[in-house]
Amino acid sequence: MSKPVRAALYARVSTTSHGQDVGLQLDELRQVAAQRGWEIAGVYEDAGISGTKTSRPGLDRMLADAQAGKLDGVAVWRCDRFARDTAHLPEAQDYTPA
């Protein structure tokens, strides 16, 4: 029997008003993880932080955990929750902790 995928759940909202809520994103991501049999290895969130910022506390922790081999994959509610600019995606892949 194979080991379950160790998934990170990442949620971000740029403002904490206007009906935006990381909890709603995480609820859906938890459902996806359960449906697919993933082990939730970490939950990372950034509330009130723009997606244009390439350094965010929750994102930085998640990338450090991925670099350390603690994660097999990352689940996000929508791609723009992870990065607003497609140039940020390759940077995240090559992340090196400071």
Nearest Cα to 58, choosing from 20, 87, 92?
92
Residue written as tokens 């930085």?
Answer: 60
| pTM more than 0.75 | yes
> DSSP class of residue 32?
H
Question: Could you report the per-residue pLDDT of 60-74, keeping only the tens digit for each?
Answer: 999 999 999 999 999
Task: Please classify residue 29 by burial: count the beta carbons closer than 10 Å to its beta carbon, then call 0-12 exposed, 13-18 middle and 19+ buried.
Answer: buried
89 pLDDT band, cuts 50/70/90, is low
Q: What is the tens place of the pLDDT at every residue in 50-61?
A: 877 878 999 999
Rounded distance between C-alpha atoms, residue 11 and residue 58, angstroms: 9
Q: Which helix (H) or strand (E) holds 42?
A: strand 39-47
The topology (CATH level 3) of 6-91 is Rossmann fold (3.40.50)
